[in-house]
Amino acid sequence: KRKGRNLVHCYTDDDQDSGELQLSLQWSHQLQEAIVNDQITLHFQPIVKVSNGEVAYFEALVRLQLEDRLVYPGEFIPALERAEDINLLDHQVISKAIAMMHQYPELHKVAINLSAQAFSDARLLPLIKQKLEQYQVDATRIIFELTESASLSNIQATRLMIESLTQLGCEFSIDDFGTGFSTFSYLKQLPAHSIKIDGSFVREMDVDQIDYALVKSIAEIARVLNRKSVAEFVENERILDLLKELGVDYAQGYHISKPMDIENLKKYILETTT
């Protein structure tokens, strides 16, 4: 039916399309259940200032807490995107994150990931406004992360959305930078506060000269464009030192801290601030 009417499609055992469709439908169903059963949870990972190690903000990362296991987004986000149900997840994450920012003032500033489809979702902006109002959360406490490819697929809609949210006071960050196809003119146009250097360049920059040079170049581009730079996948002290030398502004990764549930995050904050 998805392929149009009056079509006959022969399914074979190894029909990949039907397998993927099946999986997407399963995850869509799972998402509905998770919403009803309140199984959507957010973990938070600190992002620190490279210059002094202070926590600057936290990235919210979604997980599904099923009866028997915790499911990571790599498993269900691609399926939800195919099923065109990803907007529903975005709505849930935004509502949850803002409610938690109200409940836990420790979450002084939070980065929320948006899917590629978020920028053509007319319900998103009203929802954000409504939640900020309902929970009395200041818009300046929120950073939205969007991937390079997301922002590229519909630059006009993306710009409009970013402009509206920026007017409210929210910040923007371009996620996984370096994996898409942005041009400089395009990058110049987007009013993003920061650029997140993709982890694939950072993770081995201490041993791979090309990765090192790429991180250095992206940090330089960010500086030229007057944007902050953020490095993800900081997995050891040596990388943190290199980032400091290169003047990268913020760092995130397992070496600093893994993502945590709110209870562990509260402990982490107590330990790091006293």
Query: Which of Mg ion, ligand C2E, none has residue 233 at its interface (CB below 5 to 8 Å by kind)?
Result: ligand C2E
**Minimum distance between the CB of residue 121 and ligand C2E, rounded to whole angstroms?**
11
Query: Which of Mg ion, ligand C2E, none has residue 126 at its interface (CB below 5 to 8 Å by kind)?
Result: none
Coil, strand or helix at 79? helix
Task: Tell me how far apart the terminal alpha carbons of the chain are, to the nearest angstrom.
Answer: 60
In the region spanning residues 53 to 72, those forming contacts with ligand C2E, defined by CB under 6 A, are 61-62, 72
- CB closer to ligand C2E, 18 vs 137: 137
Query: Does 28 interact with Mg ion (rule: CB under 5 A)?
Result: no
Q: 71: how many CB neighbours lie within 10 A of its CB?
A: 17
In the region spanning residues 73 to 102, those forming contacts with ligand C2E, defined by CB under 6 A, are 73-74, 77, 90, 93
Q: Are 252 and 258 in contact (CB under 8 A)?
A: no
Query: Does 254 interact with ligand C2E (rule: CB under 6 A)?
Result: yes
User: What is the DSSP pairing of strand 171-177 with strand 110-113?
Assistant: unpaired
User: What is the DSSP pairing of strand 40-49 with strand 250-251?
Assistant: antiparallel
Query: Does 90 interact with Mg ion (rule: CB under 5 A)?
Result: no
**Mask: binding to ligand C2E, 192-231, rule CB under 6 A, as x and -?**
-------x--------------------------------
Query: Using a CB cutoff of 8 Å and minimum separation of 24, what contacts does 49-56 make?
Result: 49/249, 49/250, 50/231, 50/240, 50/243, 50/244, 50/248, 50/249, 50/250, 50/251, 51/244, 51/249, 55/269, 55/272, 56/109, 56/250
Binding footprint of ligand C2E on the chain (CB under 6 A): 45, 61-62, 72-74, 77, 90, 93, 113-115, 145, 175-176, 199, 232-235, 252-254, 259
Binding footprint of Mg ion on the chain (CB under 5 A): 113, 145, 175-176, 199, 232
